[in-house]
Amino acid sequence: MNYTVDQIANITNATVIGDGNLMIKNIAFDSRIIYSTKNTAFIAINTSKNSGEKFIESAIDRGITIVISEHHFPQFENITWIIIENSVEFLQKLSKYHFENSHLRSIGITGSNGKTILKEWLYQCLWNEFPTVKSPKSFNSQIGLPLSLLQINEAHKLGIFEVGISKPNEMEKLEGIFQPQIGLLTHIGTAHLANFRSEEELVDEKIKLFKDSEVIIYNGDNILVHKKINDLYSSKKLISYGFKNTNEVYFKNNISKDEIVIVKYFDEEISFPVHQKDEATLTNALALVTVLKELDIKNEKIIEKINALKAVEMRLEAIEGQKNNIVINDSFNLDLDSLKTALQFLNEYKKSKRSLVLTDIVGVNSNSKELYEEVSELVNEQKFDSVFLIGDEISKFNTLFKAKTHTFIHTQELIDSKYLTEIENQIILLKGARKFEIEKLKDLLELRKHDTVLEINLNALLHNINYHKSLLKPATKMMAMVKANSYGLGSYEISEFLQHHHIDYLGVAFVDEGVELRKKGITVPIIVMNPEQHSYETVIEYNLEPEIYSFRVLELFYKAVQRSGYDKKYPIHIKLETGMHRLGFKDLELDQLSEILSDKNLKVQSIFSHLSSADIPDEKEFTLDQLKTFEKNSSYLIEKLGYSPIRHILNSSGITSYTDHQYDMVRIGIGMLGESPNKEVQKQLHSVVSFKTVISQISLVEEGESVGYSRRFKADHPTKIATIPVGYADGIPRSIGNQIGNVGVNKAFAPIVGSICMDMMMINIDHIPNVKEGDTVTVFNAKPSLKEFAEYCKTITYEVLTSISPRVKRIYVKD
């Protein structure tokens, strides 16, 4: 955007009160997330559920001087007003003008499911081919689509926009402001079907978007969709994709057996490997290939781009439960498609026993018997030990479920039955419609009730791993360091996720850490970096692979192998000393080492070393010397051994700064958590960890009154102080009290005041408006960041994370 106030008023038939020459480049709609007020107007959006006008004062307090509103509020001085009749229609009218004058090639995506994933995949594939703009998040509604279109600027050549509807007659309005040249119709499912008389009406409404499209790409497996599109748009270029070979784009080979899929695109064939073979992912892959071909992307590039794709996941919570259970909380929505996704996520966990809580599926107009027959088939395939059904409707069909099944009309009845609290050593999936409030079951089952939580975003972690992988050759393996309880995040939970996403190796510090993972079903190779001599039998018993760094350790471990009766060459990992002077064999010891190894029933699985200063640019010369030493000594040892073990020396900083020395494998640690000393790399990484709590109480401290132990803070004026339930027993060092450290409240910094207590601390919120008891407080994530918090503590991010107390509840999120 780049309009004056008067220009916008002329485009939308609005009235101006104030300076019509002011420039507007951005429109903010949420007063809480206004980061810059320069050339920004705040729009007060009025809907049937809420009025944005009550947030005008908050926006002005943040520095906004241009307000777009249906009413004028003269009590606010020095404000320029754009007075409109209807806020939603204003956005639609302005975005229509903006889009029509953008000269942009556009892709419009609609459907019931898969819109956001396909949009993000297309963006990943196309951003470096064309200057590309896309819908943020899932902005696809009557308000979201206009806001997305207003992001277009003169530099953009391609736009990828989601378009969503939830009831009849909505698409006509959206098509009136946005006419995509390429129309993409994803899977038509049950989402929002309750608002339509039939699936046919839903399809009719969706495909209105393609009225002026030049090309329509659609899932031809749906017979109704295929017929409707061909009847209505036969004069356009139509391309169907799907599993059936009657489509123009389909899978030629047996995808259930083969690791490589072959996509038949008209007369061409495109082959690439796949790791996830669920129906939704494969269908989306076909749609992706079809769009890329339509944009004239060459086959070689398509394969390269698909191989580099990063996962886009939905939001789910995994929480440690009582009695060694894991609770998967997916109480955000419920239809057939989201149930399938939740069941797929369930399979990432290896616990053999599992239970399901499932409610009525509401908001779907369909034959109940057919619906729950399909639901029961999906559930029965998972072989649950117990199924708990909640709701009048689903309970009628309890005999369709093969597991031991219990029925309840309301969630409270299940709570009162005490069945759930008797479950042990299981994974429990909570899947329900919002009206049943099954989040109450999460509260019942979770191990820790503390309001203070450590939230780990698994999608962000995967993004960071994929970013580092993008710097590597395709054949380079990756080891993830999960020592010290995965840097405090939860060893098993992180390892399970990494295993599911095909990490090659895991690294732990001590044998006990590896044993815990094996007992919980982790099968990925695990290297023990510091195997203690009394633990060698345990290493062998649990199929762990030890680091060998001295002749003493080598001899002791070999004796343990002999005692165990292990009849194959046991895998070990040789550590070389290259300059850090911590552990490892030196160059003068390599001849003796190779001779000893040649006589023993051991296999050198890898040869490695560790960079001490890869994160420090001023130590580049030293780091290069380390790399030179490693190259020389590892090559010499390989020559003596007569075979080629895996070689690895790069840590997270090494991956980004010394990529040419990646060898056969790299090791990622803090990098997968979103931390890098390289500022450019840091911009590419996502924050993984959020340490959060809530405000317990807000008090007004009068002038001269003190706060906390030892009266270290005394108010020099009446001051609002909030108490939050987190202290040094949770991992907050006392040293950052007394206004050294800050926490985040409503996107602003709140200084810690007084002494930090064992279980509580106090913060100054005097300068922060609209704060109330129960509001979220961010100890670290974005504001302050993990790095900023570490700077308060005068330490490194590793120490901050590993210091967080086990009593802090860990929540694992996919969004």
| Residues labelled catalytic | 483, 709
Helix axes 87-100, 5-12, angle to 10 degrees: 100
End-to-end distance of the chain based on CA atoms, in angstroms? 30
Q: What token pair was written down for 491? A: 């060893």
Note if the bond before 784 is cis, omega within 30 degrees.
yes
In 192-259, which ranges are E strands? Answer: 215-219, 237-241, 249-251
CB contact at 8 A, 132 and 324: no
Compute the distance between CA of residue 336 and CA of residue 436 in angstroms, rounded to an integer: 17
Cβ-based neighbour number of residue 726 at 10 Å = 27
Q: Please name the residues in contact with 524: beta carbons below 8 A apart, sequence gap of 6 or more.
A: 495, 498, 499, 503, 504, 505, 506
**DSSP state string for 86-136:** -HHHHHHHHHHHHHHTS--EEEEEESSB-HHHHHHHHHHHHTTTS-EEE-S
Task: Identify each DSSP E strand in 642-764 by its residue range.
Answer: 646-648, 665-668, 689-694, 697-701, 706-707, 713-714, 719-724, 742-745, 748-753, 761-764
How many other C-beta atoms can be found within 10 angstroms of the C-beta atom of residue 680?
8
| Contacting residues for 396 by C-beta, under 8 A, at least 6 apart | 368, 372
Nearest CA to 407 among 396, 418, 423, 420? Answer: 396
- Rg for the chain, CA atoms, rounded: 30
Q: Which runs of consecutive H residues, i.e. helices, occur in 217-367? A: 223-232, 279-294, 299-307, 336-346
- Separation between Cα atoms, residue 241 and residue 216, nearest integer Å: 11
Q: Pick from 81, 108, 89: which is nearest to 17 by CA?
A: 81
Token readout for 661 is 């020395």
Distance CA 724, CA 726 (A): 6
Compute the C-alpha angle 319/320/325, nearest 5°: 115
Q: What is the C-alpha to C-alpha distance for residues 670 and 806, in angstroms, rounded to an integer?
A: 20
